[in-house]
């Protein structure tokens, strides 16, 4: 077997704001496996400033994987515990290589019968007018669940946006989620949660920065609203420590981003622990191209989780790889009437 990788830079259609800054580009790496005439492809979507494997030797590690590809998947995954995005790329690439269709990783009603997955409509941070524009598009686009990233503009303005939505739509009509990306501090987190709690918010992701375990435990126990751990899961790779984290903090939800927490295997371990402890969960993409998003969406469908998932990021880029993935009516479909951009994929794979 042979292996090589290619770097690819995704360009945002418009700058996308988070509490960690504004994004205009996103690097990603494609891992290609060859066995005779067969090819498999996976995406290693390391996230600058967020991934635990955002290190100088990232590409050197990718090359090491290519040089040692004959060690086999199981052995390589063990060696890559500190490189979760490469673990995920490898899992994808091996599944892709083993399939007659390199993009059919998990055959199901999702891929064969156009059965969709419900997703949340993501609202990026920005000024009030920009966020209002996005909200209007999501509401007209048939979404029943909207997720707003908050923490970048004045909190009162963000609160006003949420109040406007809630005045127009009941919780039964529109589910509201918010994601603070760790923007709140010890001095204001409980006050802000109390204000948000008056608006029938479904949940808030990562209200404070990760690794403040005792404070996060208090936040989850405060009863103001349901808390979802996101960044808190990154870098916790030992099963015992994962269990201890969930037992101590006792969140209501956890958010699973395979590229950041060890691919399918790492995500399934978190899911198993969460189920044992009565914690709910959903899956979210992490700005992958459609190669990685396809791998996440197909797998997510097999998990049979009825909550809206976070899989609507494929339309953010000007130079994404065209695929059968299609978002409409607040859902993501695998539309077999659409095709992959095989010309671009061929350029990547040679």
* pLDDT of res. 141: 87
Query: Mean of the pLDDT values across residues 24-51?
Result: 95
pLDDT at position 191: 96
Pairing of strands 253-256, 280-283: parallel
pLDDT in tens, 227-252: 999 999 999 999 999 999 999 999 99
330-346 pLDDT per residue, tens: 999 999 999 999 999 99
- Structural domains of the chain ordered from first start: 2-103+344-348 (3.30.390.10)
- Asked if residue 328 has pLDDT above 80, the reply is yes
Question: Per the structure block, which two tokens stand in for 260?
Answer: 């950041």
Mean pLDDT, all residues of the chain: 94
Q: Are 137 and 327 in contact (CB under 8 A)?
A: no
CA angle 308–85–312, rounded 5-degree value: 25
**58, 240 Cβ separation under 8 angstroms:** no
CA atoms within 13 A on the CB side of 192: 25
* The pLDDT value given to residue 349: 87
Lowest mean pLDDT, pick from 36-40, 89-93, 126-130, 267-271: 126-130
Tokens standing for residue 204 = 């808030």
Cβ-in-10-Å burial (0-12, 13-18, 19+) of 275 comes to: exposed
Please state whether the predicted TM-score (pTM) of the whole model is above 0.75.
yes
With vertex at residue 225, the alpha carbon angle to CA 266 and CA 259, rounded to the nearest 5 degrees, is 20
Percent of the chain with pLDDT strictly greater than 70: 99
- Looking at residues 1-22, what average pLDDT do you find? 85
Q: Quick: pLDDT tens for 45-93.
A: 999 999 999 999 999 999 999 999 999 999 999 999 999 999 999 999 9
| Both tokens assigned to 339 | 């095709």
> Would you please indicate which residues are annotated as catalytic (active-site) residues?
149, 257
Q: Please give the pLDDT value at position 243.
A: 98
Task: Please name which of 160, 145, 148 lies closest in space to residue 124, comparing C-alpha atoms.
Answer: 148
29 confidence band (pLDDT: 50, 70, 90): very high
pLDDT tier for residue 350 given thresholds of 50, 70 and 90? confident
Note the pLDDT of residue 20: 63
| pLDDT per position as a tens digit, 166-218 | 998 999 999 999 999 899 999 999 999 999 999 999 999 999 999 999 999 99
- Give the neighbor-by-neighbor strand order of the sheet with 117-118: 117-118, 331-334, 325-328
Of 146, 162, 182, 169, the residue nearest 310 (C-alpha): 146
Over residues 40-44, mean pLDDT? 98
Q: Does the pLDDT of residue 28 top 60, yes or no?
A: yes
Output the CA torsion 130→136→139→141 (10° steps): -90
Place of tokens 């000007």: 318
Query: Which H, E and C letters describe the chain, residue by residue?
Result: CEEEEEEEEEEEEEEEEECCEEEEEEEEEEEEEEECCEEEEEEECCCCCCCCCCCCCHHHHHHHHHHCHHHCHHHHHHHCCCCHHHHHHHHHHHHHHHCCCCCCCCCCHHHHCCCCEEECEEECECCHHHHHHHHHHHHHCCCCEEEEECCCCCHHHHHHHHHHHHHHCCCCCCEEEEECCCEECCCCHHHHHHHHHCCCCCEEECCECCCCHHHHHHHHHCCCCCEEECHHHCCCCCHHHHHHHHHHHCCCEEEECHHHHCHHHHHHHHHHHHHHCCCEEEEECCCCCHHHHHHHHHHHHHCCCCCCEECCCHHHECCCCCCCEEEECCEEEECCCCCCCHHHHHHHCC
**pLDDT class of 125 with cuts at 50, 70, 90:** confident
CA distance 190 to 196: 10
| Residue 18 clears pLDDT 70, i.e. is over it | no
Confidence at residue 19, expressed as pLDDT on a 0 to 100 scale: 56
Sorting pLDDT into bands at 50, 70 and 90, what band is 128? confident
- The pLDDT tens digits for 300-327 are 999 999 999 999 877 889 999 999 999 9
Q: Which residues, in sequence order, are CB contacts of 65 under 8 Å at separation 6+?
A: 3, 5, 31, 76, 80, 86, 90
């Amino acid at each position: 077997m042979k292996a090589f990788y290619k770097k690819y830079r995704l360009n945002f259609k418009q700058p996308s704001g988070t509490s960690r800054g504004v994004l205009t580009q996103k690097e990603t790496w494609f891992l290609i496996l060859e066995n005779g005439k067969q090819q498999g492809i996976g995406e290693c979507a390391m996230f600058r400033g967020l991934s635990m494997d955002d290190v100088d030797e990232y590409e050197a590690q990718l090359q090491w994987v290519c040089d040692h590809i004959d060690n086999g998947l199981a052995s390589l995954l063990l060696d890559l515990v500190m490189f979760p995005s490469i673990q995920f790329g490898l899992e994808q690439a091996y599944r892709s290589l083993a399939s007659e269709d390199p993009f059919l990783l998990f055959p199901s009603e999702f891929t064969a019968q156009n059965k969709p997955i419900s997703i949340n409509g993501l609202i990026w941070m920005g000024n009030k007018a920009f966020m209002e524009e996005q909200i209007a598009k999501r509401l007209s686009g048939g979404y029943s669940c909207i997720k707003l990233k908050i923490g970048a503009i004045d909190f009162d303005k963000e609160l006003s946006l949420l109040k406007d939505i809630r005045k127009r739509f009941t919780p039964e009509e529109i589910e509201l989620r918010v994601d603070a990306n760790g923007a709140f501090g010890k001095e204001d987190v409980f006050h802000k949660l109390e204000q948000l709690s008056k608006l029938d918010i479904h949940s808030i992701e990562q209200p404070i920065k990760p690794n403040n375990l005792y404070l996060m435990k208090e936040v989850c126990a405060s009863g103001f609203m349901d808390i979802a751990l996101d960044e808190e899961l990154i870098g916790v790779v030992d099963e015992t420590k994962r269990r201890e984290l969930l037992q101590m903090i006792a969140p209501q939800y956890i958010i699973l981003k395979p590229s950041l927490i060890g691919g399918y295997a790492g995500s399934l371990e978190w899911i198993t622990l969460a189920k044992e402890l009565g914690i709910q969960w959903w899956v979210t993409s992490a700005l992958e191209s459609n190669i990685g998003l396809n791998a996440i969406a197909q797998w997510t469908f097999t998990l049979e989780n009825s909550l809206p998932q976070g899989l609507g990021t494929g339309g953010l880029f000007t130079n994404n790889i065209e695929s059968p993935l299609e978002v409409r009516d607040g859902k993501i479909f695998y539309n077999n009437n659409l095709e992959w951009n095989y010309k671009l994929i061929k350029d990547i794979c040679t």
